[in-house]
Chains A and B, each alone.
Chain A
Amino acid sequence: MTVSWQRIGFLVAAFGMLVSAVVPLSSETTPSLFDRPVLLLATLVTAGLFAGAAFVVPQLSIALAVAGVVLSCWVTLALLRDSTIAGYATWGFWLPVLATWVAAWLGVAKLAGIKPHGKTASRAINLAIPLLFGAFVFYLWEVAVRGFGVPTVLFPPPSAIAIRFFGSPWMLWQDFFQTFILGVLTGYIIGCGAGFLVAVVAHRYTFLGRGLLPVGNFVSALPIVGVAPIMVMWFGFDWPSKAAVVVVITFFPMLVNTLAGLNAAGHIERDLMRSYGAGQGQTLQKLYLPAAMPFIFNALKINSTLAFIGAIVAEFFGTPTVGIGFRISIEAGRMALDVVWAEIALAALAGMAFYGIVALAERATTFWHPSYRT
């Protein structure tokens, strides 16, 4: 049932590619596809690949679809170099884009439907699907922005952002250093460390823990980013104020989670420790801390995103003339959106890398936990 549906889809995509050869490319006068022999050939080959993908076994079909999609992306991007097409594109241009979209979607759907044998294979597929999907989204963004002639001031294409990203590494590095290394990382370490220590003390003295847990939960629900202006007032415009905001933001999630984790050790284990005659320190080290590990990492992960947000918000209240948040608000005001997007890409990469490192550390230290024993 679904197989024949996918077959029809591929045939429609192939048909779309064929038809696009005879439909005008642009509302301006421009040479048709027949005057561009290489592109015409590529379009026809793509149509053939899509048609072929409709009839072969899934593995081969995916390969053909991917090849066709890559070829078709190249054709459309090559067409956009022509200034009589970029901004004036008509159906002759949009048809292959839509056909490629259909084929790419079907290819990814087929890839998702495959049941691989090995663990490595399934991991590779689970990685490939979002990557292909993401690459195609960037392609659509590029083609849509340039094909419709959206002013780059409003919405720059990814290529312009990439040029800006790789074109000014020094500025990006300075902003990264100021916001991430000095602000986020310092604050993150101090805030998480303080939260952890207070939690350990509060766990030792039950009265303190019983009082702190509800207070911590309450404060965690408050919009704490609001302390940013106060911290800027106390610690000045430079990075200490950003680090201070990050400390305040990361402290409470860490406190609450660590406290919950330390209380997660069961009665039987505690009795066992007591029957071994273990001291306070030994029990903490051998029982409570390992039991709290998953909770602590949960807090570390939550905090890795919170910390970044806190530092950037603090930069809205005053900065030296460097930093990601500063650059974004300044350049957005100047309508230099390619710089803004390059900074966002930087922040995104840094944020993901930060989270990824914490997640990797979690895998390395809590591999024994049931959630990883699959």
Chain B
Amino acid sequence: MTSNALSRSPEIRWPPAVVRHAPVVVIVLALIAIWYVAAVLMNMNIVRDGFERDGTAYTTEDLIAGTLSAERPLLPAPHQVIATFADDVFGWPVTSPRSLVYHSWVTLSATFLGFVLGAGFGIFLAILIVHARTLEKSLLPWIICSQMVPILAVAPIVIVVLGSIGLRGLLPKAIISAYLCFFPVTIGVVKGLSSPDPIQLDLMRTWSATQAQIFWKLRWPSAVPFLFTSLKVSITISLIGAIVAELPTGAQAGIGARLLAGSYYGQTIQIWAALVAASVLAIGLIGLVSLVERWVAQLMGART
């Protein structure tokens, strides 16, 4: 069934690409339009106050133009955000603390380190849990409980405690994102490692395979698809962890620090630009994991 509006006109046969993408395009355009209207309405008062303070006469057109180009608007218009984003990304040398690329890189390095630590720890836990029934029964409930705890609340202490034993900079942030992102990996890999059928496990046993052989030849290959699904979830969580870890530490660099500085100095456009940067990073990271997934699937002989 195609969408209502399109299917009711049988004489026009729309190409499938249009049918698929038209609703998304319309929704996105509508959201942008709503954004502009909201920007005009929300910034109206600030701009009007500004005009009246200066005592200049103004028309409605001036007012609307003012709301869309205000320096510290309540809600910046999309084009302002894009312009600031582009300027922050391309307008400065990469090493300058004013460049968003520099801040993104700081956050990204913590994200990667945290992701590697978290995913490694998650896989390690999953392997332990699959092989020791006691651990499954005793540890797994606590791991699940740990996720109902607002873990970010722990972030400041992790920073303080690690700082007092001399660990500063990248590692505390990475540990926080690792703590946040290990859980999906553990759950996914446990599911994956226990996904082989009993028949397949029995077959391995009739071949008198050792535990290690069963693991490498049966359990691990069948866990790989589960692993990548979890990795895609956990790399965005890792990014969130890295950003949030920069908040209570008063970090000087990073996307979280950008957000914090923007909120201190009322630089709304800067906050939005940092948000755009974070979103671009998130999409890029997921894309990266998907690429690796496809590559690994090809290595393992998947047919595409």
Contacts and interface: CB of A to CB of B under 8 A. Distances in A.
Interface of A: 105, 108-109, 112-113, 126, 129-130, 132-134, 137, 154-155, 205-212, 214-215, 221-223, 225-230, 232-234, 304-305, 308-309, 312-313, 316-318, 324-325, 328-329, 332-333, 335, 337, 340-341, 343-344, 347-348, 351-352, 354-355
Contact of B279 (A208, A223, A234): A223
Interface of B: 1, 3-6, 23-28, 31, 74, 133-134, 136-142, 145, 147-154, 156-157, 159-161, 164-165, 236, 239-240, 243-244, 247-248, 255, 259-260, 262-263, 266, 268, 271-272, 274-275, 278-279, 282-283, 286
B134 A215 contact: no
B138 A133 contact: yes
Given A211-B24, A234-B74, A223 B243 contact: yes
B240 to A, nearest CB: 5
Nearest to B25: A211
A225 B266 CA distance: 18
A352 B148 contact: yes
Contacts of B149: 344, 347-348, 351-352
Interface centre among A113, A324, A348 (most CB of B within 10 A): A348
Contacts of A109: 134
A304 B148 contact: yes
A332 B148 contact: no
A210 B240 contact: no
Given A211-B23, A229-B271, A344-B149, A154 B161 contact: yes
A208 B243 contact: no
Contacts of A229: 259-260, 262-263, 271
Contacts of A221: 236, 282-283, 286
Given A222-B278, A223-B278, A230-B271, A215 B148 contact: no
A232 B266 CA distance: 11
A317 B263 contact: yes
Nearest to B139: A133
Given A129-B137, A211-B24, A348-B149, A329 B263 contact: no
